[in-house]
Amino acid sequence: MEITSFELSEINCEKIKYVVLHEVKVEEPYVVDFDADDSPERWLDQWDLKNWCIISAYEKDERIDGCQKSTSLLH
């Protein structure tokens, strides 16, 4: 089974009109759990989230990945 990932290559910044993703082959699969030490449930206590957006990736009806981004960093 071939495992692939997506690389974000472009954002048209003006309230995020679109993103361009390129599918690339993952040579050595790995698992990263960024929430292991810093749960998203604690973000509100640590960060000002008013300019954040959540980006999710779906395959059919299953959420397979996601990320968060401060939109203030995109300007």
pLDDT at residue 13 greater than cutoff 70: no
pLDDT at residue 39 greater than cutoff 50: yes
Model pTM score: 0.43
pLDDT at residue 73 greater than cutoff 60: no
| Beta strand extents in the chain (DSSP E only) | 4-11, 19-25, 52-59, 62-70
pLDDT at residue 69 greater than cutoff 80: no
Average pLDDT in the 3-22 region?
70
Cβ-based neighbours of 26, under 8 Å, separated by 6 or more:
3, 4, 5
